[in-house]
């Protein structure tokens, strides 16, 4: 019996399915067939160099069988490669193949590949279809769903210092389909998988507030199987997390900034996390500095702890919420403290560079009770500092 799962993102004429399961990459053929009938004759495939060749080969075999010429570009995903220079070279590559408006872009990789491929698709000829084939747990449960695309911008500040502003340039561009083949997760190292778990834990901590009450308890019940990446549990973990994300996106596709809720809740841990993620000296293991810099999920894990402790300071949140979070993160092998942080003043300033900040305020997502969070823009600076103090090793 097939163990495949699917979740629909309900966005009317921009709606799409997320296909989940072992071996579901083969379903790309059924996704491409109607595109071929509408005239698609080329595909541009952006591949993460860490993905085993067999998956890219499978895409080539499928496109060839349909009479679609595929052209592959490979990148090694790093935050610095997620740049305007890479974007330009990808546009030049795609244009050189004669890619038409009905030809698809296919992203095979993690969040960086998906974001870059998605932004190329959103802007080339004012928009061509994109199919997201996420190969990391993080991109399966978060980045590939919901249409956020873009790249980072490196800026020089008036004092001559440089900052890497993550995802500052981008567009909402919903995919035609997301194909999350669980078999691709086998190629990930433990640290990458744990980083993906961080976004799942984030979903657990907002779940009750967005109509997915059972998610946190389900994850706690299955924490051993999840932390050991039991294959049978992975498909259900992805399905449950994608279902939460899909429902949040369906109600707030473009992250309406006047709402102080909706999609913004998915940023739990992110505003604190972004402030530390681009600090290149931070290691998730104080005894092993060579592991620096932090992976995104590690920064989010630390950011969620900081947000809980900031909420205790600002609004008297029950400390048990943060204690439970810490115990789950530790079980999942994620960091809850980090050494080498700069001053609180520097960190709060970095938060205000986050794109979720408005002119005079820093927006943060803080818990109000178990499984519920809210967005606030008036958290006292002392509370934000208390958050950073709590994760300072
Ligand atoms: N990763 C947050 C969002 O997609 O809105």
Catalytic site residue 313? no
- The pLDDT tens digits for 248-288 are 999 999 999 888 899 999 999 999 999 999 899 999 998 89
- Residue 165: the pLDDT is 86
Catalytic site residue 199? yes
Task: Report the distance separating Cα 47 and Cα 107, nearest Å.
Answer: 6
Mean pLDDT of 352-376: 82
Instruction: Region of 246 please: left (phi>0), alpha (psi -120 to 50) or beta.
Output: alpha
* Position 305 pLDDT exceeds 90: yes
The active-site residue, picked from 245, 295, 350, 356, is 245
Catalytic site residue 377? no
Q: Report the residue among 172, 245, 365 best suited for mutation to probe ligand 1: largest number of ligand atoms under 8 A from its CB.
A: 245
Mean pLDDT of 359-381: 91
Q: Report CA(365)–ligand 1 centroid distance (Å).
A: 13
The active-site residue, picked from 274, 295, 313, 353, is 274
Catalytic site residue 154? no
| CA angle at 282 for the pair 336 and 320, rounded to the nearest 5° | 15
Mean pLDDT of 215-229: 94
Q: What is the mean pLDDT of the chain?
A: 95
* Position 359 pLDDT exceeds 80: no
* Position 60 pLDDT exceeds 90: yes
Contacts of 307 (CB under 8 A, 6+ apart): 268, 269, 271, 272, 364, 365, 366, 367, 387
Lowest mean pLDDT across 32-36, 122-126, 168-172, 228-232: 228-232
Range list of β-strands (E), the chain: 5-9, 16-21, 42-48, 69-75, 105-109, 130-134, 148-156, 162-172, 177-181, 364-369, 372-376
Q: How far is CA 18 from CA 124, 138, 165, 246, 347, in A?
A: 24, 15, 30, 9, 37
> Is the distance from CB of 213 to CB of 313 less than 8 angstroms?
no
Mean pLDDT of 33-56: 98
Q: Which atom of ligand 1 is nearest to the CA of 146?
A: 4
Catalytic site residue 331? no
Catalytic site residue 148? yes
- Determine whether 28 is exposed, middle or buried from the number of CB atoms within 10 Å of its CB (0-12, 13-18, 19+): buried
| Neighbour tally for 73: CB within 10 Å | 17
* Position 354 pLDDT exceeds 80: no
Q: Which atom of ligand 1 is nearest to the CA of 142?
A: 1
Q: Which atom of ligand 1 is nearest to the CA of 266?
A: 2
Task: Report the distance separating Cα 85 and Cα 307, nearest Å.
Answer: 34
Percent of the chain with pLDDT over 90: 89
The active-site residue, picked from 152, 167, 241, 267, is 267
Task: Report the distance separating Cα 67 and Cα 218, nearest Å.
Answer: 44
Q: Which protein residues touch ligand 1 with a CB less than 6 Å away? A: 142, 146, 148, 255, 263, 266
Task: Report the distance separating Cα 314 and Cα 47, nearest Å.
Answer: 44
- Residue 122: the pLDDT is 98
Catalytic site residue 296? yes
- Determine whether 336 is exposed, middle or buried from the number of CB atoms within 10 Å of its CB (0-12, 13-18, 19+): buried
* Position 91 pLDDT exceeds 90: yes
**CB contact burial 174-183 (16+ within 10 A = b; e otherwise):** bbbbbbbbbb
- Residue 355: the pLDDT is 53
The active-site residue, picked from 79, 253, 255, 385, is 255
Q: Report CA(241)–ligand 1 centroid distance (Å).
A: 12
Q: How far is CA 180 from CA 59, 144, 184, 329, in A?
A: 14, 9, 8, 24
* Position 353 pLDDT exceeds 70: no
Catalytic site residue 126? yes
Q: Report the residue among 18, 252, 266, 354 best suited for mutation to probe ligand 1: largest number of ligand atoms under 8 A from its CB.
A: 266
Mean pLDDT of 143-162: 95
- Residue 257: the pLDDT is 85
- The pLDDT tens digits for 166-205 are 899 999 999 999 999 999 999 899 999 999 999 999 999 9
Q: Report CA(144)–ligand 1 centroid distance (Å).
A: 9
State CA 274 to chain mean position distance. Answer: 13
Q: Could you tell me the two tokens for 321?
A: 């919420």
Q: How far is CA 330 from CA 201, 323, 369, in A?
A: 11, 11, 21
Q: Report CA(158)–ligand 1 centroid distance (Å).
A: 30
Catalytic site residue 263? yes
């Amino acid at each position: 019996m097939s163990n495949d799962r699917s979740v629909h993102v309900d966005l009317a004429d921009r709606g799409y399915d997320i296909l989940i399961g072992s071996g579901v990459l083969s379903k790309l053929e059924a996704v491409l067939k109607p595109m071929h009938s509408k005239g698609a004759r080329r595909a541009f495939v952006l591949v993460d160099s860490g993905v085993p060749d067999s998956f890219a080969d499978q895409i080539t075999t499928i496109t060839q069988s349909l009479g679609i010429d595929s052209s592959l570009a490979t990148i090694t995903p790093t935050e610095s490669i997620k740049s305007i220079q890479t974007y330009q070279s990808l546009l030049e590559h795609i244009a050189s193949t004669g890619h038409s408006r009905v030809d698809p872009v296919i992203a095979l990789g993690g969040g960086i590949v998906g974001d870059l491929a998605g932004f190329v698709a959103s802007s080339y000829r004012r928009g061509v279809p994109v199919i997201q084939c996420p190969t990391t747990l993080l991109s399966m449960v978060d980045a590939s769903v919901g249409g956020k695309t873009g790249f980072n911008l490196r800026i020089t500040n008036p004092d001559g210092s440089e900052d890497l502003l993550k995802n500052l340039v981008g567009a909402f561009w919903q995919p035609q389909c997301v194909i999350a083949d669980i078999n691709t997760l086998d190629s990930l190292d433990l640290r990458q998988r744990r980083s993906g778990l961080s976004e799942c834990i984030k979903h657990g901590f907002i779940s009750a507030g967005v109509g997915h009450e059972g998610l946190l308890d389900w994850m706690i019940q299955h924490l051993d199987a999840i932390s050991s990446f039991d294959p049978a549990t992975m498909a259900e973990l992805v399905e449950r997390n994608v279902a939460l994300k899909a429902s949040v996106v369906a109600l707030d596709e473009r992250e309406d900034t006047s709402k102080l809720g909706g999609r913004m809740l998915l940023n739990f841990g992110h505003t604190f996390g972004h402030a530390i993620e681009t600090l290149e000296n931070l290691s998730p293991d104080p005894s092993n500095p060579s592991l620096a810099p932090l992976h995104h999920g590690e920064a989010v894990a630390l950011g969620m702890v900081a947000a809980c402790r900031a909420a205790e300071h600002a609004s008297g949140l029950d400390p048990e919420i943060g204690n439970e979070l810490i115990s789950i993160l530790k079980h999942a092998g994620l960091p809850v403290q980090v050494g080498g942080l700069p001053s609180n003043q520097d960190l709060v300033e970095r938060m205000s560079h986050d794109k979720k900040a408005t002119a005079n305020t820093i927006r943060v997502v803080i818990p109000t009770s178990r499984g519920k969070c809210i967005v606030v823009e008036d958290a006292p600076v002392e509370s934000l500092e208390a958050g950073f103090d709590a994760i300072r090793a």
